[in-house]
Copies of this chain bind each other. A is one copy, B any other.
């Protein structure tokens, strides 16, 4: 209701502000008997954490997940998995300059309007730091899903667009470059561009594409909880996201039905996949793929005019260590949210028929 839970059977609830003592979460509904690979969880956390490369924020946050419950001798017990991630690097003094200031295109103003009070330090609850909890939970969801393979990569940075279809790409390239672009040549261009933008004290938007493979047919719940509707909500709930499309997406609107329909092979597979692996909100067994649009980071390392809470014009300039472009670090977040959606539908589907 108050918006801090996601999922129905496999349900994540998160809490925590950027500069409080800790952020954390509770995963309720993870079946008992799952032997956890903690190294794999840590690996996901490291893909999201600040300071991992030269093109992301240089903040140092170890982002170690401390599990408090729901796991016994390395195996899930069916009881809620509570966890916290300490905010080791709080440095609250850095944020006194925005205490009464509404940063442009941030949530400062809207939180104030909604709640009448806010923890201004580092954006408080609206900070993308919260997504660390999503990555932790998503890492467990991935382990639950086993054969289902979720792969995201950067497909756009500013005007640089990766035009290749995902089937033409070698996913093993993704983690080899700091941009997490699946195409090495494009990765170099993107990296160069991000560095240039950072030098300008500016930021830039980008795109992430995600492919989900080995999905069994039947996942997703009509009518309102269609698989792509939940994926869409999941992605749009990530900070800075402005759009979502799956399968043929926005380009599909320009096609005729005779071009767009995916014709069946005799085994139930299809000759094309404009559907993006989903028909009527339910997976059909083909690859699911979708793209997510991220706006440029709003915190700039240059002067901007804005207002304070008294409605007076003030000038401000970003301090501290911010990302010039979020998409490299958004890749594991997109995967985590996709994993949460899939895990939930996978469990739900056990009751679809007798």
Contacts and interface: CB of A to CB of B under 8 A. Distances in A.
A88 to B, nearest CB: 14
Interface string A262-280: 1111111010001110111
B296 A260 contact: yes
A149 to B, nearest CB: 19
Copies of this chain, tallied across the complex: 4
A221 B3 contact: yes
A1 B348 contact: yes
Contacts of A281: 3, 107, 237
A52 to B, nearest CB: 21
Contact of A1 (B29, B226, B252, B266): B29
Nearest to A22: B68
Interface in A276-325: 276, 278-285, 293-300, 302, 304-307, 311-313
B115 A32 contact: yes
A230 interface: yes
A13 B80 contact: yes
Interface in A237-274: 237, 239, 242-250, 252-268, 270, 274
A199 to B, nearest CB: 12
Given A114-B78, A268-B307, A350 B351 contact: yes
Contact of A106 (B25, B228, B280): B280
A80 to B, nearest CB: 4
Contact of A16 (B82, B200, B229, B300): B82
Most chain B CB neighbours (cut-off 10 Å) among A70, A245, A261 = A261
B233 A242 contact: no
A235 to B, nearest CB: 8
A304 B263 contact: yes
Contacts of A159: 254
Nearest to A87: B68
A4 B24 contact: no
Interface stretch (A57-65, A124-132, A168-176): A124-132
A4 B77 CA distance: 14
Interface string A47-75: 00000000000000000001011101001
Interface in A12-27: 13-17, 20-26
Leading 8 A-B pairs by shortest Cβ distance? A107-B280, A3-B221, A243-B245, A15-B82, A3-B225, A203-B257, A110-B282, A205-B253
Given A5-B224, A20-B69, 15 more contacts: A4-B223, A9-B348, A29-B351, A32-B117, A77-B119, A77-B124, A78-B353, A79-B124, A105-B279, A109-B268, A237-B281, A242-B249, A257-B300, A264-B306, A264-B307
